[in-house]
Each structure stands twice: as structure tokens, then as C-alpha cells.
């Protein structure tokens, strides 16, 4: 997205986890999502380490809990069990 739009929606919220989901919700009020052409490359380390089924179930759980009002700081402790999140909670 362009910087002006990013600033218009207030940027990423200062939460420990699910900031991408929160900003997406704000953006949907303004415009429909766009599909990018070309590949997107991400790390597969978590998928390789934890396995596909376990990782998918974790992601579904985290999203459902977030939508039901769970504290993002609590969700971050589940997602990053051995690390302290750097974002504000």
C-alpha cells in the first residue's frame, strides 16, 4: 500500500500479535483487497519444524481467539512461547 493510505488507517496498531489482521480490517472499510502478481516468498521453518497440520491448527486457533476478543499479548505468548514480543501489549 502507499504511505498515504497506511497513514490514513493509522498504521499498524501497537499490539503484540495480529497487527496484520487489525490493519486489514481497517483497510477493508476503505477499499477492496488487491491481488499481487508474482510470487511471494516466506520462510517455511515453522512449517518444517512443527508440521503442516499443527501449524494450520495453531493459526486457526489464534485467529478465532483474536476475533472472539482474546488479548493479543496472550496470543503472542502462545505464538512465540520462548520469546518476549517487542511490540507493546
Find where cell 511471494 sits.
40
Q: SS3 for 3?
A: helix
Q: In this structure, what C-alpha cell is assigned to residue 71?
A: 488479548
Give a yes or no: residue 26 inside a domain. Answer: yes
First and final CA of the chain: distance in angstroms? 25
Give a yes or no: residue 62 inside a domain. Answer: yes
Q: Rounded to an integer, what distance in angstroms lies between the CA atom of residue 49 and that of residue 71?
A: 26
> Per the structure, how many domains does the chain have?
1
Give a yes or no: residue 40 inside a domain. Answer: no
Give a yes or no: residue 65 inside a domain. Answer: yes
75, 65 Cβ separation under 8 angstroms: yes
Phi, psi of 11 (to 5 degrees): 70, -170
Find where cell 512461547 sits.
81
Q: What is the pTM of this model?
A: 0.74
Residue 6 pLDDT level (bands cut at 50, 70, 90): very high
Domain that holds residue 2: 1-32+51-89
Q: What is the pLDDT of residues 39-58, one digit of tens each?
A: 888 888 888 998 999 999 99
Q: What is the pLDDT of residues 19-32, one digit of tens each?
A: 999 999 999 998 88
Q: What is the pLDDT of residue 89?
A: 45
Residue 36 pLDDT level (bands cut at 50, 70, 90): confident
Amino acid at each position: 500500500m502507499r504511505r498515504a493510505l497506511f497513514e490514513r488507517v493509522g498504521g499498524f496498531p501497537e499490539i503484540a500479535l495480529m497487527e496484520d489482521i487489525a490493519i486489514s480490517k481497517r483497510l477493508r472499510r476503505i477499499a477492496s483487497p488487491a491481488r499481487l502478481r508474482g510470487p511471494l516468498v516466506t520462510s517455511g521453518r515453522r512449517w518444517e519444524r512443527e508440521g503442516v497440520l499443527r501449524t494450520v491448527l495453531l493459526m486457526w486457533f489464534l485467529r478465532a481467539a483474536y476475533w472472539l476478543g482474546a488479548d493479543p499479548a496472550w496470543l503472542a505468548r502462545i505464538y512465540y512461547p520462548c520469546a518476549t514480543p517487542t511490540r507493546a501489549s
